C-alpha cells in the first residue's frame, strides 16, 4: 500500500501511529483485524516499511540496503536480484555498486 498526499495531509502522523511512535489517545488501529496495541513493537515495526520523500538510498552497502535486518542469505539476495533481472546490472557496475556489496 502506498500513502501519498499534499504537505500537511497527515502522512507522517499516520506512519507515526502505525509504528506506535505515538499511542492513540482513543480508538484503535487494526491491521488485518489485529489491534496493534497488542503486538510487540519489534514484530509490528519489522512488518512495515517506510520510504521517505527524501530516501537515503545506498547509505551503506547495497547488501545492507537490501537486507537491513540480515535475515536472508547471500544466495537468497542474489536469487531476488536475478528474479528482478538486476544481477547483470550489479555486476556490470562493479567499479561502484558491486564493491559495496559484501556478498
What cell does 5 get? 498526499
Rounded to whole angstroms, the Cα distance separating 40 from 63 reads 27
Q: pLDDT tens digit string along 4-63? A: 889 899 998 999 999 999 988 899 999 999 999 999 999 999 888 887 766 555 667 778
Residues in Cβ contact with 103 at an 8 Å cutoff, skipping those fewer than 6 apart: 63, 74, 77, 78
Rounded to whole angstroms, the Cα distance separating 49 from 61 reads 18
Rounded to whole angstroms, the Cα distance separating 101 from 103 reads 6
pLDDT band at residue 79 under the 50/70/90 scheme:
very high
Amino acid at each position: 500500500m502506498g500513502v501519498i498526499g499534499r504537505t500537511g495531509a497527515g502522512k507522517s502522523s499516520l506512519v507515526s501511529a502505525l509504528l506506535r511512535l505515538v499511542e492513540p489517545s482513543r480508538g484503535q488501529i487494526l491491521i488485518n483485524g489485529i489491534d496493534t496495541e497488542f503486538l510487540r513493537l519489534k514484530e509490528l515495526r519489522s512488518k512495515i516499511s517506510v520510504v521517505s520523500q527524501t530516501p537515503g538510498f545506498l547509505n551503506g552497502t547495497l547488501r545492507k540496503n537490501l537486507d537491513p535486518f540480515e535475515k536472508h542469505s547471500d544466495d537468497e539476495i542474489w536469487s531476488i536480484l536475478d528474479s528482478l533481472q538486476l544481477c547483470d546490472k550489479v555486476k556490470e557496475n562493479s567499479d561502484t555498486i558491486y564493491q559495496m556489496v559484501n556478498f
